[in-house]
Structure 1
Amino acid sequence: MSGTFFGIGVGPGDPELLTLKAVRLIQQADVLAYLVGESGQSQAKQIAVLALEGRIAKHQDIVIPMPMSTRREAANQAYDEGAQAIREALSQGLNVAFLCEGDPLFFGSFTYLMERLAGECSIQVVPGISSIHAAAAELRHPLTMLKESFCVVSGRHTEEQLVEALRQHDSIVIMKAGRARPSILKALYLTERVDDAKYVEYVGRDNQLVENDVRQLKSEQGPYFSLFIVSRKERCTR
């Protein structure tokens, strides 16, 4: 294959948080690729709206429908079909830029396409600002300092794993909190770290929500794009 496959991190939601390199490659790419949800909308494309204003499209986008399901079989089939469409474009000598929310290699959907195309083509990755760093900036809250230990876990971890992380580490970020919010809140109470926690959903977007007192959160499912940042209230700063 003579085309290059680019994984472009577009950041967490604010269109102004794309890097200059990301904007340039989006505008220069022969083909854009991105996931779409069941509504037919692409979060990543919406985030890249400012970069797309200067783009002249010469080829049809590769749209990869992603079912909202916990079944990996459905997701794997979507990635298989998406990788094949990208493969065909690359074989024609076209450069394909995949728009990925956040950072392509940090809980990024690009990873699954890269695995399928590795060894077949030239691959380049443009890092993006993660939701973790965007949330910390919005909260004006350091993620970790000096000798503090730092851990990133997912809401897909078990309650026992969440409790262990909260007890073992000074600073913890719990990603993909959505469906797991009740168990995350329970783990925070069990470890007596509920007062150490802050919550952000849809960071950088118009519907962003910040909650500095997570005791105010209802113990019910939240949106997929949400996270908790937990750090010691008493921190060593010298």
Structure 2
Amino acid sequence: MTGTFFGIGVGPGDPELVTLKAVRLIQQADVLAYLVGESGQSQAKQIAVLALEGRVAKHQDIIIPMPMSTRREAANQAYDQGAQAIREALSQGLNVAFLCEGDPLFFGSFTYLMERLNGECQIQVVPGISSIHAAAAELQHPLTVLKESFCVVSGRHTKEQLIDALRNHGSIVIMKAGRARPTILKALELTGRMEDAKYVEYVGRDNQFVENDVRLLQNEQGPYFSLFIVSRKERGTR
């Protein structure tokens, strides 16, 4: 008998934004799985701290060390090893819950494990609140209204791709801004959209930072967990 593999979205950082369904499944799971960084800490597990209260662990967690490298070979190897450990637990009839920051299927690390295990077991996904929606709520800033087009891009896109998105869409979110922050700021400047942009990093966490005037940002790399929300200053009201 094969266990079920759960992808549990735990949201962007605030432990109180974890859904009731996620809490229930985390507490009921036989095994928890999660990524850890080079520090040995798991951001997802830290976010799920309230859901973990009172949970009695009957089996050892599956810890997946993830190197902070732009080389996909290293990441793929980590996912291969993690998937194998999860596969072995599932083969024993154990239910495994993978804790994923934000939403599992929106830039989520769960996606890479699901691809490796798809067809081998039952898989269930519990959506989580994304950093986009948490940032919009923090800024009290609508993501899109009326007939506006809405575009999500990544800091991993080229400057030309960013410029194209900024010119052709009224509302844009630029995810994973970290290393690309100087490129993003330049693209905003070249498209005349500096005044349309707001910036948030570590949304929902103790070290959250918000900048409503991106011209004040340092023209240097920022943290991985950061994003820009860009929308037209003048928006229709009808």
With normalisation by structure 1, the TM-score equals 1.00
Q: Deviations over 1:40-64 (max 9, x none)?
A: 0000000000000021100000000
Equivalent residue letter for 1:12: P
Q: Which residue of 2 aligns with 1:142?
A: 142
* 1:106-152 Cα deviation digits (max 9, x unpaired): 00000000000000000000000000000000000000000000000
Q: In the alignment, residue 57 of structure 1 is paired with which amino acid?
A: A
Alignment map for 1:31-110 (pairs within 5 Å):
31-110=31-110
Using the alignment, how far apart are the partners of 1:147 and 1:25 within structure 2? 38
Per-residue deviation, 1:237: 1.7
Matched residue type, 1:149: S
In structure 2, distance between residues paired with 1:163 and 1:57: 49
Q: Distance in 2 between matches of 1:58 and 1:97?
A: 13
Return the alpha-carbon distance in structure 2 between the equivalents of residues 60 and 233 of structure 1.
51
SS at match of 1:78: helix
Q: Deviations over 1:198-219 (max 9, x none)?
A: 0000000000000000000011
- Listed one character per residue, the Cα deviations across residues 138-176 of structure 1 (whole Å, up to 9, x for unaligned) are 000000000000000000000000000000000000000
**Count of residue pairs the alignment pairs up:** 238
Task: Find out whether 1:185 has 2:191 as its counterpart.
Answer: no
Equivalent position amino acid for 1:141 in 2: H
CA distance in 2, matches of 1:138, 1:6: 29
Residue identity opposite 1:202 in structure 2 = Y
Which whole-Å CA distance do the structure 2 matches of 1:174 and 1:231 have between them?
Answer: 11
Equivalent residue letter for 2:163? V
Off by >6 Å, runs of 4+ in structure 1? none
Give yes or no for the alignment of 1:166 onto 2:166: yes
Counterpart of 1:218 in structure 2 is: 218
2:96 maps to a residue whose letter is V
Q: Does 1:7 align with 2:25?
A: no
Listed one character per residue, the Cα deviations across residues 1-56 of structure 1 (whole Å, up to 9, x for unaligned) are 51000000000000000000000000000000000000000000000000000211
Return the letter of the residue paired with 1:45: K
Name structure 1 gaps, 5 residues minimum.
none
In structure 2, what is the Cα distance between the partners aligned to 1:30 and 1:219? 46
> Hey, what's the Cα distance between the residues in 2 that align with 1:225 and 1:191?
24
Unaligned runs of 5+ in 2: none
Identity of aligned residues (%): 90
In the alignment, the residues of structure 1 paired with residue 207 and residue 216 of structure 2 have an alpha-carbon distance, to the nearest angstrom, of 18
Return the offset for 1:96.
0.1
TM-score by length of 2: 1.00
SS at match of 1:104: coil
Q: Who is 2:233 aligned against?
A: 233
* 2:173 aligned partner, one-letter code: V
Partner amino acid, structure 2, of 1:98: F
**Larger deviation, residues 51-60 vs 102-111:** 51-60
